[in-house]
Structure formats: C-alpha cells, structure tokens
Amino acid sequence: MEVELREAPFDPAAELAAFAAPGAGAVVTFTGVVRGDDGVERLEIEHWPGATEEAIAAMVQEARARFALSAVRVVHRHGTLQAGEPIMMVLAAAPHRRAAFEAADFLMDWLKSRAPFWKKAHRAGSAAWVEARSEDEAALSRWGDGRGPASTVS
Amino acid sequence: MIEVLYFAWLRERTGLSRETVETQAATVADLVEELRARSEGHALAFSDLRAVRAAVDRRLAGLDAPLAGAREVAFFPPMTGG
C-alpha cells in the first residue's frame, strides 16, 4: 500500500524495516513529529475522508512520473496526536540517491500545502488552528510549472 | 441541490460539517453570499474570504468558478499537512 492514512500511532523504524524496495540502492525517509517546544500538548488533525487519500495518491503518482523510483510510501496520521509522536512519514527508494532525495522533498512540499489536512494545536487551556505558512506555499514553485498534482485536491 | 462541506474553523463557525443547499448560484462567490445569510455562524465563517479556499467536486476552485452541474462544494482554510 503506497498511501496509508491512519489514526493509530506508527513506528517509523518498523515502517522502514517493512519498506520493500527491490533493486534500490538508496532509501530516503522523512518523518514529521509533533513539536512540543512551544507549549503544544497535543495536535488534532482533521482530514477529508476519501479526498485526502486521493490527493496523496495523485502526488505519489506524480512523484513516480518525475523521478526514477523503485518504491514509494506515504503514511499520515489523523485524529489526536501527543507531542513527540510521529505525524507522518515519506519513504522513497531509488537506484541512486538523487531521485530518492528529490522525490521525498517533492512529496513533502506538496503534502504540506495540498493534502487536505488541518491541524489544531492544543496548549494548556487554549486551542488554535495552525495557519499555513507562506514559505510552504512558495515552496511549490520549486517544482517547475507549480501545477504538479496541485490543481486538484483529488 | 448542492452538498456543501466545511472543514476546520469553517466547520466550527457554521456548526456544520455538511449541509444540502437548494441554490441557483452561478459561481462559488454567489453561493458564499447565499450561505452568509444562513446564520451568524455562517457570516462569521465567511467574514474574511482571503482565508477561505474552495473545492468544487473535489477540485480546487477560485471564487469566480462556475457551479453549473456541480454536486459538491467544500470550504476550508489553507491546508496544513505534513
């Protein structure tokens, strides 16, 4: 399964161990973690059931078209996450490192701004929706025409 | 009839995750104007359109996007995945 959306926690080490990439000479992984440094106790991640999976699948398809990948996988959680817990993980395998690095970078840029997720940060006694960062939006233009899988949420 | 979906603070402000709307709105902007009149919560949700994104039948769409034949319109703040 190339795309997995889940509520339950996952173990990045187990994900890497289970990531089968026949013929790959390079595996790049990125793990996003709930930051606990600014008083955030937990994160609530809302998604759009059905559309979120479709949007990520389109990104994965685009990554496969752009980079010579042996295997690729995206795991992303939703629901309530505690500080320090992994939020998501991208795994990209390729015959050579460059394609694996670039595919992981590409997928992260698109996941940040075009995968239907909304985060709400809970601190002691308060909660606030996390605002999108303009740097994240700007990062999409790194990938050529800026379209990629972006014109759709699905 | 259009199915309208709300996410994140638009869901909180309208108090709805979805509603079915009888409308002749020609564009997303026209629909927003109609929705604004539904309740104080709706008006609050759409008080600053710069912070609102829309998708028509799961495709990102601008306010000027036509609604002819559309079945579903979703409203949400900019996405914060990853």
In a domain, A96, yes or no: yes
- Residue A150 inside a domain? The answer is no
Does any domain span residue A17?
no
CATH number for the domain spanning A83: value is: 3.90.1170.40
- Cα–Cα distance measured from residue A66 to residue A148, given in angstroms and rounded to the nearest whole number: 10
Of B74, B78, B81, the CB nearest to A111: B81
Q: Which residues on chain B are in Cβ contact (under 8 Å) with A132?
A: 77-80
Structural domain includes residue A127:
yes
H helices, E strands: number in chain A: 4, 8
pLDDT tens sequence across A42-64: 999 999 999 999 999 999 999 99
Kindly report the CATH number that applies to the domain delimited by B2-76: 3.10.20.30
pLDDT of A36? 83
| For chain B, domain boundaries | 2-76
Query: Quick check: A87 pLDDT over 90?
Result: yes
- Provide the 8-state DSSP code for B50: G
Q: What is residue A37's predicted lDDT score, i.e. its pLDDT?
A: 82
> Which residues make Cβ contacts (< 8 Å) with residue B67, sequence separation at least 6?
B2, B23, B25, B26, B27, B28, B30, B31, B56, B73
Q: Which domain holds residue A130?
A: 3-10+30-140
**Residue A147 confidence class, pLDDT cut points 50, 70, 90:** low
Identify which of B59, B17, B65 has the alpha carbon closest to the alpha carbon of residue A118. Answer: B17
Query: Does B28 have pLDDT greater than 90?
Result: yes
Instruction: Tell me how many domains chain A contains.
Output: 1
Residue A148 pLDDT = 61
Digit-coded pLDDT (tens) for B44-56: 999 999 999 999 9
Residues A102-115: tens digit of each pLDDT = 999 999 999 999 99
Q: Do B77 and A154 touch (CB under 8 A)?
A: no
pLDDT at position A100 is: 97
For residue A151, pLDDT beyond 80: no
Question: pLDDT by residue (tens digit) across B59-75?
Answer: 999 999 999 999 999 99
Decide if B80 and A119 are in contact by the 8 Å CB cutoff: yes
Interfacial B residues in 23-62 facing A (CB < 8 Å): 55, 58-60
B8 contacts in A (CB within 8 Å)?
A: 46, 118, 120, 129
